[in-house]
């Protein structure tokens, strides 16, 4: 029997024109499934576990911090005559340890600190009971500082600002930024404006936000007009210029988030290899 060349090229041989067997693909899953991938030689699913030590290190502080109140900004003259803009931060009654967390009780090391004394009627009964258990006064704000070790901390202990902060040290300051309301792309994302003359109709317009058919939608996270500010912000590695123990204020170089009267969280600056482990 003679088989024609076109038939052989189409893969049909023998009686009945049976097609030649085709080898199945070895891996039918795309490379985007990095977290969950099926093994080629086994039917069980292999789950790739990612290391969470990096996440824990990011949430850990370099040391216990304190809370303060932003009072405003001013200028300070250095001995050589240089003018330095500083932010003045005051400290109300508070900065008392309200709870010490250990791996035996909570699974990690942390110190909870309270700030700003208030009347009893301003707090709920569970909050009052929590503070009375630590022997602390009623306070408005409670924040937690996750540390490598909590040795030496006791509930009811009052933190001394001069022992934690020193002149010349670098600190991280976090707080809520000033709310700007609904703003456009130029103010919110520093977009460049369009031509203002020569018949242009797009002066401060956003521009294209994506193609029509593909992808046929607007990607998540696209920079567009919206509410600006009013979010938690952290400014890192600010230098302490002066500490006044009589007035109970600290002067920090530069600007910090929020308006005067805003609550601030001050912690030692994270320096990898010095006060934060590399791994």
In a domain, 129, yes or no: yes
* pLDDT score of 60: 77
Token look-up 């920090």 returns 252
The answer to the question of residue 4 being in a domain is: no
7: in domain:
no
Given a contact cutoff of 8 angstroms between Cβ atoms, the answer to whether 188 and 228 are in contact is yes
Domain contains 110: yes
**Within-domain flag for 89:** yes
Question: Environment class of residue 211 by beta-carbon count within 10 Å: exposed (0-12), middle (13-18) or buried (19+)?
Answer: exposed
β-pair partners for 266: 66, 173
Mean pLDDT of the 62-88 span: 94
Tens-place pLDDT, residues 147-161: 888 998 999 999 999
Average pLDDT value for residue range 172-191: 96
pLDDT of the residue at 218: 94
Residue 170 CA to residue 276 CA, distance in Å, equals 14
Q: Where do runs of H (alpha helix) occur along 50-140?
A: 53-59, 125-133
Beta bridge partners of 77: 83
The answer to whether residue 17 sits within a structural domain is: no
Residue 168 lies in a domain: yes
259 against 274, higher pLDDT = 259
> At residue 9, does pLDDT exceed 60?
no
Classify the phi-psi angles of 237: left when phi > 0, otherwise alpha if psi is within -120 to 50, otherwise beta: left
Tokens of 29: 């899953």
pTM: 0.72
| Maximum Cα interatomic distance, the chain, rounded to a whole number of Å | 110
Given this model, what pLDDT does residue 18 score? 53
The predicted structure's pLDDT at residue 58: 57
CATH number at residue 66: 2.40.30.10
Q: Check: CB of residue 46 under 8 Å from CB of residue 37.
A: yes
24 — pLDDT class (breaks 50, 70, 90): low
Residue 84 lies in a domain: yes
Number of structural domains (the chain) is: 1
Evaluate if residue 134 carries a pLDDT over 70.
Answer: yes
Query: Quick one: pLDDT at residue 273?
Result: 76
Cα separation of 173 and 255, whole Å? 10
Quick one: pLDDT at residue 56? 54
Q: How much is the average pLDDT of 59-66?
A: 84
Q: Residue 151: which domain range?
A: 62-179+229-268
For residue 272, the 8-state DSSP code is B
């Amino acid at each position: 029997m003679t088989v024609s060349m076109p038939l052989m090229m189409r893969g049909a041989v023998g009686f009945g024109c049976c097609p030649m067997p085709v080898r199945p693909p070895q891996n039918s899953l795309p490379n985007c499934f990095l977290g969950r991938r099926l093994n080629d030689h086994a039917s069980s699913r292999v789950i790739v576990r990612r290391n969470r030590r990096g996440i824990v290190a990011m949430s850990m502080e370099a040391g216990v911090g304190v809370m303060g109140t932003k009072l405003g900004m001013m200028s300070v003259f250095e001995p050589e005559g240089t003018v330095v803009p500083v932010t003045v931060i005051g400290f109300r009654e508070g900065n008392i340890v309200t709870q010490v967390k250990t791996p035996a009780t909570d699974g990690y090391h942390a110190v909870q600190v309270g700030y700003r004394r208030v009347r009893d009627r301003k707090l709920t009964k569970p909050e009052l009971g929590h503070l009375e258990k630590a022997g602390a006064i009623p306070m408005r704000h409670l924040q937690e500082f996750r540390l490598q070790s909590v040795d030496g901390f006791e509930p009811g202990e009052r933190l001394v600002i001069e022992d934690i902060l020193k002149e010349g040290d670098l600190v991280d300051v976090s707080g809520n930024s000033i709310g700007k309301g609904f703003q456009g792309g130029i103010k919110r994302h520093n977009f460049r404006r369009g031509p203002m003359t020569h018949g242009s109709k797009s002066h401060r317009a956003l521009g294209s936000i994506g193609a029509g058919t593909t992808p046929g939608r607007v990607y998540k996270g696209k920079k567009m007009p919206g509410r600006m500010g009013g979010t938690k912000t952290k400014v890192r590695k600010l230098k302490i210029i002066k500490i006044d123990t009589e007035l109970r204020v600290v002067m920090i170089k530069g600007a910090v988030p929020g308006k005067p009267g805003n609550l601030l969280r001050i912690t030692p600056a994270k320096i990898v290899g010095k006060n934060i482990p590399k791994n």
